[in-house]
Structure 1
């Protein structure tokens, strides 16, 4: 007996999805990345590293050397422990210790990029309705990772870390379950928390007894100003040991080495790391063994010199963008000057919508950027946008900013 499939009604999949799927939305940034395939688009959209800066030769040689050695090849192509490749965890622990965060390899869990780290942390800490305090605006990828666990977001009020007692009290009253922040060169704003603001954030977390997630994706990309201790470093100094700290540090090699290797990590007290290991086992067992071994070889020699090249390149591109904004943007537009990272945050005149401007920019002047509204957990500010300078050379940055400024200045 045969059945004409054209007569069968499609399954109602939406009715079968879990309640958590109601909060899951497509990333506007991931969609915008498709524009990079159009050669005539000048794109400030993707906050991704410049492929010209990847240590491709060193990565190629590391793969070849590992696979040419029988014993190493057998290890590299096999399953491994969920915690991650021991030598790489040791390198991370030594580097973090050097950066004021004394820890051991047992305090480190390797993850598939820091994005998986955020998902694991959401799974570990969040129940439906759990309040999560975040910066205003904040990293869209963190919101997407946490959304599956149905939290209730609380934008950190302006002034809460600058001595405004009423703003601080508003946060305390909500009894946050978790705090998430990017203290260094934040995505999307490029802003860094001052030392006083970091101390105030730790004070707040101590007062209400909630853990803090420190997303350090851009920490190594400082090209100006003076380094500031990480939240974890400050917390360890207060508590005397990482085992007594409340900060969980998320690091990554995606912005400095290569995104495709998918190497990130969580560093924190062993009591939290041990539970995160169990969650990772239920997810993907472990990060690619060969990728961990390759990354370990590449970072073990010349990594600081490589970082110097990155900082020089991104610093030059940032200066080119800031100079172009100063030359071309109307006075009604304001922006924040970063000292590291990959982003400049613009505030447009009231009434000008970033999403509507993007539609016009793509059609009229072939320039792409990311509208600011999706980066807000609460009450989006539509008259904002994010520009990334990481992919374009200075002459194209100049031209793209000139086109965009002309569009903003044009009568609507």
Structure 2
């Protein structure tokens, strides 16, 4: 009775008036929504850029949990831990970073709950409302979601063909009431395009960052998934070579176990100058105290015993699927529809004819052909890119790739003549 009376007198809280202004910039992920389509067995989905669970090192994880919980370390695995992260796991990350050319120590590493948490922390650390973030067009949707909460303005980072001068970037940011704070990019097999930035392009990003006196955020989620070509040094390695020591650099590297070992444990890391890590540790303490101890201990066990073999296995599987998709695109795409040819990662980027809308094409593709992909507009900070789409090959078998790409080509041709 009392609740009914309150409602009748319109005393219901106006939540929209209470929410912080940043809440208005939060948007549902189109990709997370599309993942629901995977539950429909007749849909051929190229939407989710997620690892194939059939390739997870299940036995290694079973053994790791048994080991961690079956000896004297069980109590520690279930206990609070340090905010910086489980020391042996941080040591493993140090060795891994050193293997790819990044000289660092444990004081340069923070373990995070996935690299998505790392991006959220960096947005919180670096962005004030009205500041400018430089991002590629298109860029990783999850990064835009993480940064959006801190109310930035976006400008286009174009390391290859860009003609914006540092002063032009700075002037535009100042007119918007802030300053340029960082450049964010995925230099290896980028999500969503699959493209890799060459060494010269990485050096240009560092040159721009030095002139603007800003940070570079390097997202290395796909760095281990190279199938062709020679490795390119990470931006952080190039920065260290310039400055002489990691603690003098401006580059922050975000890494993840999600694409190599398993995403469900939510394990990632940040590698940066020790002073930056100390600030981020304070943020971690205020946020979730530390990433789950047992997950860190298990991930360390699996990384120590299974990482090289696991990476070799998934490289072989994903290389085959990439090749199968590229061959199917050659057979079935209409003329005037180009696509990227990634050297690694999980994605192929398709450009539709001018005037064709990827979102409308998706609706038609699901209804008429039972196939799914991600429309490209969501990856563009300015809402452009309507005539683009992302295909992921990581979950599809040969038959699904052949049938799905044939159907997609047919839907695109029909849309072009409608």
Report the TM-score range of the alignment, normalised by the length of the smaller protein. Answer: over 0.9
SS at match of 2:270: strand
- Partner residue, 1:348: 352
2:65 paired residue among 63, 71, 96:
63
| Superposition map of 1:32-47 within 5 A | 32-47=34-49
| Superposition map of 1:82-101 within 5 A | 82-101=83-102
Q: Deviation per CA, 1:19-67, whole angstroms, max 9, x where unpaired?
A: 1111111111110011111111100000000001100111011101211
Partners of 1:98 and 1:404 in 2: how far apart? 41
- Partner residue, 1:78: 79
Contact 2:60–2:306, Cα closer than 8 Å, also in 1: no
SS at match of 2:155: strand
Partners of 1:135 and 1:165 in 2: how far apart? 14
- Partner residue, 1:15: 17
SS at match of 1:102: coil
Contact 2:347–2:391, Cα closer than 8 Å, also in 1: yes
Which segments of 5 or more consecutive residues in structure 2 lack a partner in the other structure? 173-178
Q: 1:167 offset after TM fit, Å?
A: 5.4
Q: Comparing 288-297 with 174-183, which one deviates more in the overlay?
A: 174-183
Q: 1:94 offset after TM fit, Å?
A: 1.1
- Partner residue, 1:28: 30
Q: 1:166 offset after TM fit, Å?
A: 4.8
Partners of 2:194 and 2:263 in 1: how far apart? 20
- Partner residue, 1:154: 155
Give the direction of change, closer, same or farther, for the CA distance of 1:3–1:249 in structure 2 (3 Å limit).
Answer: closer
Q: 1:8 offset after TM fit, Å?
A: 6.2
Contact 2:157–2:183, Cα closer than 8 Å, also in 1: no
- Partner residue, 1:297: 301
SS at match of 2:224: helix
Partners of 2:166 and 2:355 in 1: how far apart? 30
Q: Comparing 174-183 with 71-80, which one deviates more in the overlay?
A: 174-183
RMSD of aligned residue pairs (Cα, Å): 1.4
Contact 1:355–1:382, Cα closer than 8 Å, also in 2: yes
1:400 equivalenced with 2:404 (yes/no): yes
Q: 1:378 offset after TM fit, Å?
A: 1.8
Q: 1:4 offset after TM fit, Å?
A: 3.2
Partners of 1:166 and 1:154 in 2: how far apart? 10
- Partner residue, 2:175: none
TM-score by length of 1: 0.96
Give the direction of change, closer, same or farther, for the CA distance of 1:181–1:227 in structure 2 (3 Å limit).
Answer: same
